[in-house]
Structure 1
Amino acid sequence: MKKTILILLLHSSLSWAQMQPFPLQEVKLTAGVFKNAQEVDLKYMLALNPDKLLAPYLIDSDLPLKAERYGNWESSGLDGHIGGHYLSALAMMYASTGNPEMKSRLEYMVSELARCQAKNGNGYVGGIPNGKVFWERIHKGDIDGSTFGLNNTWVPLYNIHKLFAGLRDAYQIAGNQEAKNILIGLGDWFLELIKPLSNEQVQQVLRTEHGGMNEVFADLYIITNESKYLAAAQRLSHQSILKPLLAKEDKLTGLHANTQIPKVIGFEKIAKLTNNADWSGAAQYFWQNVTQTRSVAFGGNSFREHFNPIDDFNKMLVSNQGPETCNSFNMLRLSMALFLDKNDVSYLDFYERTLYNHILSSQHPEKGGFVYFTPIRPNHYRVYSQPETSMWCCVGSGLENHTKYGELIYSHTHNDVFVNLFIPSELNWQEKGIQIIQNTNFPYINTTELVMKLPKNQSFSLNIRYPKWAESAKVTVNGKIQKINKKPSEYISLDRKWRNGDKISIEFGMKTRLEYLPDGSNWAAFVRGPIVLAAKTSTEDLRGLFADDSRMGHETKGKLFPINKAYALVDESGNYLSKLKPIDNLNFTLDSLHLQPFFDLHDARYQMYFQTFTKEEYEKQKDIQKQTEEALMALEARTVDKINCGEQQPEVDHNYIGEQSNSGYDEEQFWRNTRSFISYQLLNKDQRGTYIEISSLDDFKTENLEITINGISIEVFSNNSKTIRLKLPKAEQISLKIRVMSNYTTPRFTEIRIISNE
């Protein structure tokens, strides 16, 4: 297909060949796993109380509450962020289903936000704790930012971005005019907020996680055609991330993954609006890097929320904190943007893979809970949220994920239709009078059927995606076989005059393959077509399976099972696939294991990745792996609490506060240092711990440090160059503070552990 893109600065005009999505209102799910996920999500949304979600906004506007705010992350620093996601979810669920309660709730929340904005009187509306005081400090240039906190406030720009995005979606998707007015007022307030700041100060603010602030200002430009918003979008683009991408340099290792992805979505949108090929190339480079070198079989990326080295996935393999659902939520948004911009079907291969294997699997199919981390550690499990207890970021994006499955099943150019995904659905292209019904039970079977519903005969091209994973494709129209001259990752084009009742049948050849981790190690997953297979291994010790309201309820509480005892594939010929015995299209036996689609596997421990060995390799490896695992498990068993310094979530979980502090990633470890002080709150449960161990990349000079626990100076009783130990007082709540005594920068702290002698 010829690419012809004409983009003007103030008015964008799409040429005949430019790909466009259908509005959610024109695509309805009709059956299957995605329809079930949508319905389960709707029930979860109905279980949430809008007045509780609105409470942080009323508090910050000095208006009386109608209900107390939710707990968990909604009352510990990220107050209001779920409310923004909820606006987006309501708009998309209403567009996708026409459910009147979704529209009613959306209108109510928007009207309440309008009250808050009117009370504030300056365009501002937000739920950030002590927001007015916080924003005034920023306005005056008083900026002390780490990689996630800003003036010791938890990701405030990320938080308010959710409201920007929610108001945008309420207007653009659901047509709510009041939301547009609030959005413009909020945008103008933000422009005034940053007006006194130099470009260097703005970039300092952007060091902190800020969501897609550049994208929403590009959206404000699209909505209003006012150039000040496009200028703001460019100013709010983080240069320290953009510049390496422009140079095609990989500087991503160690960065907080989901902090970066929304920025790149913004780069791509700005590039499209300004016809900036370089910025679009940067977005493409980022997408290629993440999807091809940093993503695992189910489409997710990162461990403990950060990008791992491309040549070593070991830390992800051993961690109980695997890829984060928010990352895939945003990678799908980037994939869709690039697909629509470039008319390149290859973006859909990743989109489809991630949609089935990560997004669909991240929701409990009956109870509707959402998953934060999906570990690839063998014989581990996932945790699901609950409406009254869980207010994590992946709950916010989770609410949205399952409302919009219809966004890319089909797309179109001026006259032609493209079938991108094989999901039971109805397309109603109202402008052209074209209705297409897709009947399928894919991926359980490898076929789909399209039925034309036309009031009159029409000539147009029907283009059916030929997936990269397909071994072959067979297409018939009204029972007549069609000649195919296309290859995988292209479209099969059927150009003819279509009549009402015409039937198009598509059958794909599908095979099972082993897909190895990108680092070249011997860990591999079984993938059939686009579907990742996994084995249920046990239901032992699933503590925290459904999360409580604790600060770290999104993490598993059950024990880690030794990796050296995981199932391995041992075969002298290397023909590991020969061990599979088919039950049906997507179910297999593997000796004593049952492999099934990962998205169908819930409420259990599982194994997705398997090591592959010859018998000789296996014998050599097992003793080494056993010793490594035993040492790791012994240390973990003695660890009462632990902080990974410089990592966002562990530090937030432990109430990090600091001044003149920096964090980074060196020598394959995260770190934090300070020229003033840092402090954390730890829990010495049942007073089991006997000492604190602090590790660093550099030698300690303890004479330059004052270390206090619960306000009392503590002497170092062991100093082993880069590790120090301090005795613990008798207490469960441990407040640790490290202060610099002179003109000195501390070592780069990597880890803090409370350890028991048991």
Structure 2
Amino acid sequence: MKKPILHIALLLLTSFSALAQMQPFALQDVKLTGGPFKNAQDVDMRYILALNPDKLLAPYLIDAGLPLKAPRYGNWESSGLDGHIGGHYLSALALLYASTGDAELKKRLDYMIDQLAQCQAKNGNGYVGGIPQGKVFWERIHKGDIDGSSFGLNNTWVPLYNIHKLFAGLRDAYEYAGNQQAKQVLIGLGDWFIELIKPLSDDQIQQVLRTEHGGINETFADLYILTKDRKYLETAQRISHRALLNPLLAKEDKLTGLHANTQIPKVIGFEKIATLTGKSDWSEAAQYFWRNVSQTRSVAFGGNSVREHFNPTTDFSQVLRSNQGPETCNSFNMLRLSKALFLDKNDVSYVDFYERTLYNHILSSQHPSTGGFVYFTPIRPNHYRVYSQPETSMWCCVGSGLENHTKYGELIYSHTANDLFVNLFIPSTVNWSGKKVKLTQRTEFPYQNQSELIVETTKPQEFSLHIRYPKWAEKLAILVNGNVQPVNGKPANYVAIRRKWKSGDKVTVQFKTSTQLEYLPDGSNWAAFVNGPIVLAAKTSTADLKGLFADDSRMGHETKGKLYPITNAYALVGDPATYLKGLKPASRLRFNLDTLTLQPFYEVHDARYQMYFQTFSKSAYDEQKARLKQQEAEALALEARTVDKVNCGEQQPEVDHQYKGEKSDSGYDDEQFWRRTRSFIAYQLQNKNRAGKYIDIELVESGKLDTMSFLINDKPAEILSNEGKMIRLKADSQDVLLLKIMARAGTSTPRFHQIRLVTQ
């Protein structure tokens, strides 16, 4: 009698460098089957279907001179960024169609592409866009008439950023949904753009690129992939922003003070261009940027920035104080960069960051029942977030939010020619058509520290199944058909099981997690509780959630409720060894901490919350509390008498206040943003209830009045005082105040830091 041949599972810790090139699965091949991500996808579909395609198309029809079928949306869609949501919507429809196969999504996508094609045909030169007065604007650029700042190009709000959304949406409509017409519109738009910039010198192009332009270089790299025509790859390199690229090539950190989401898409483009050209230094620059942002500029949930800008790596105090914490768009793009680098470099550390950000920022940025999207996620203790609504909110984070929850299947699994990789523990199935293998993952992670993988195959076949060993996992155990296997090695890699697989084979992955304190990167005494990859937070109050669901106002994405004193926040006091001892398990991923209940942050909604806690010895606590109480009282008193304010040189505050200007520049020095001009700058202030009596203008340095003059609502302003770095003007008693600052006789004004409309 012959002895049966035993197929022994071989478990190895595999170095990624020895593996073949990693490939993603198509979204069509991966299906979510349950859990919070499936809920987020379903809720997102309802939000997507609540939007009216004809309203989103309106800016394009207006620009092409075609009759409207519905009026355009309000909010950002009719105040300068007209059409940007339409581009995101194309991507969201294509991605969600690929993920679900829903016929209504495909119907809407095909309809929108057809309408855009008609706009392109009417324009007659390949152009299609929703930018206000687009034809006039682009003609000025074509002629070399360029006056740009970080967000305004010829006094037009980020036009290249805007049109990049259309480029990306057309690409996704073809790539993910197979719409051939989208490919043709995309090529026509790309050819128009190449002709547009042909007369410009390299210096002029770099001047244009000073203004936020999204990932326009990436989309031209994509056009090269689609067509193999080198003119697109050459253009992609030509429109790569050297002011960011050159310091990254030199491994120099010049990021502090820069508008964060302006930079991340550029770097995605650098990385893609590197993969197509062999420019290894460009890829190294992208890796340097990723390490800098993910390791030194990101908070526990993966987000970065304060008031949309990179804060100093040595001081996160602004992030802690502000109601404008990390922006969701930043994490949307950091995940895209992490995915690209993971696929290129075969380094699992990119997945570690991807997972942390996916669970804690992206998942938490959507309301689990209404589907509303979050712009800012403050880490200020006892504050809250604002959620969008389909008819009122057209912010950038609505656009990226529409996409965020359509593509959760993009990196749960990956593969090489002969191996299958399990990267994330999310209930789902994957169809590996190349091997005629289906893998089903059953898990309740993070509420249960286990995942089961069931193999289905048409015939027994040999390949390696690689299971990610997360850096946070403790005591990883793997069972194959119930038999415990030895696992040797360290976290932050893969365990490879090589065997001849047959249908019904089951792999069980088990591990433990523990709760740790994770401090802010600046070395301060603020820490968050993190269990495995899950950031924990506590609901603290439901009081004064003003503007919880956004209206259609220009700044509806910002919280309007009271800022509660940070000195009243919960703190951890005692010896460091005792901080975690007060945490008592209550139920599934819930822990009691004194009177608080900590739970996954992505579960915390419709409430104020605390995520970060100060840690003190008893003596340090008493001393610090007295000092901070005075500082906090002064700051809150200033806010209480403030009716409106503009942070000069910061992108969103200036956009929110209808900034206009000529011959103006802005910057960031000595931890202060600023703007100055050799001609004029103007802002629109909202004087609610006509309560504002004075306009205080704070300078970076003392300024002489003979270098500038001021108008309020087109009338000379009365200057009440000029002391040190502060100028006080008498406010007009109107609902809206247009403040115009003009330079005298061609001289440059001083640098303006902040403008406040105050009651006293």
TM-score when normalising by structure 1? 0.98
Distance 1:560 1:715 in 2: 32
Distance 2:297 2:724 in 1: 34
Distance 1:585 1:693 in 2: 52
Alignment of 1:641-680 (within 5 A): 641-680=644-683
Equivalent residue number for residue 30 of structure 1 = 33
Post-superposition offset of 1:744: 1.0
1:210 pairs, out of 209, 213, 217, with 213
Post-superposition offset of 1:129: 0.3
Pair 1:373-2:376 in alignment: yes
Post-superposition offset of 1:728: 1.1
Secondary structure class of the residue paired with 1:448: strand
Equivalent residue number for residue 749 of structure 1 = 752
Distance 1:695 1:687 in 2: 22
Contact 2:331 2:357 in 1 (8 A): yes
Distance 2:625 2:753 in 1: 30
Post-superposition offset of 1:693: 0.2
Equivalent residue number for residue 482 of structure 2 = 479
Alignment of 1:510-521 (within 5 A): 510-521=513-524
Contact 1:448 1:505 in 2 (8 A): yes
The Cα offsets for residues 78-127 of structure 1, whole Å up to 9 and x where unpaired, read as 00000000000000000000000010000000000000000000000000
The Cα offsets for residues 302-331 of structure 1, whole Å up to 9 and x where unpaired, read as 000000000000001000000000000000
Secondary structure class of the residue paired with 2:89: helix
Post-superposition offset of 1:714: 1.3
Pair 1:614-2:612 in alignment: no
Contact 2:15 2:493 in 1 (8 A): no
Equivalent residue number for residue 20 of structure 1 = 23
Post-superposition offset of 1:403: 0.2
1:579 pairs, out of 579, 582, 592, with 582
Alignment of 1:30-179 (within 5 A): 30-179=33-182
Contact 1:524 1:611 in 2 (8 A): yes
Alignment of 1:204-603 (within 5 A): 204-603=207-606
The Cα offsets for residues 50-83 of structure 1, whole Å up to 9 and x where unpaired, read as 0000000000000000000000000000000000
Distance 1:85 1:689 in 2: 39
Contact 2:155 2:661 in 1 (8 A): yes
Distance 1:516 1:310 in 2: 13
Post-superposition offset of 1:717: 1.3
Distance 1:587 1:574 in 2: 21
Which amino acid letter does the alignment assign opposite residue 172 of structure 1?
E
Secondary structure class of the residue paired with 1:524: strand
Tell me: CA distance 1:147–1:573, structure 2 relative to 1, closer, same or farther (3 Å). Answer: closer
Which amino acid letter does the alignment assign opposite residue 211 of structure 1?
G
Post-superposition offset of 1:585: 4.3
Name the % identity. Answer: 71
Contact 2:31 2:409 in 1 (8 A): yes
Post-superposition offset of 1:722: 1.1
Which amino acid letter does the alignment assign opposite residue 264 of structure 1?
V
Secondary structure class of the residue paired with 1:578: coil
Secondary structure class of the residue paired with 1:626: helix
**Which segments of 5 or more consecutive residues in structure 2 lack a partner in the other structure?**
1-13
Equivalent residue number for residue 722 of structure 1 = 725
Which amino acid letter does the alignment assign opposite residue 487 of structure 1?
K
Equivalent residue number for residue 734 of structure 1 = 737
Secondary structure class of the residue paired with 2:306: coil
Pair 1:687-2:720 in alignment: no
Post-superposition offset of 1:3: 6.8
Distance 2:82 2:736 in 1: 24
Distance 1:628 1:704 in 2: 34
The Cα offsets for residues 386-405 of structure 1, whole Å up to 9 and x where unpaired, read as 00000000000000000000
Post-superposition offset of 1:139: 0.2
Point out the more displaced range, 162-171 or 734-743: 734-743
Post-superposition offset of 1:651: 0.3
Equivalent residue number for residue 9 of structure 2 = none
The Cα offsets for residues 393-425 of structure 1, whole Å up to 9 and x where unpaired, read as 000000000000000000000011000000000
Aligned length, in residue pairs: 747
Contact 1:2 1:17 in 2 (8 A): no
Tell me: CA distance 1:538–1:306, structure 2 relative to 1, closer, same or farther (3 Å). Answer: same
Contact 1:73 1:392 in 2 (8 A): yes
Cα root mean square deviation, aligned: 0.9
Contact 1:436 1:452 in 2 (8 A): yes
Post-superposition offset of 1:573: 5.0
Distance 2:295 2:331 in 1: 14
Distance 2:306 2:489 in 1: 38
Distance 1:514 1:575 in 2: 11
TM-score when normalising by structure 2? 0.98
Tell me: CA distance 1:258–1:623, structure 2 relative to 1, closer, same or farther (3 Å). Answer: same
The Cα offsets for residues 478-500 of structure 1, whole Å up to 9 and x where unpaired, read as 00011112311100000010010
Contact 1:32 1:424 in 2 (8 A): yes
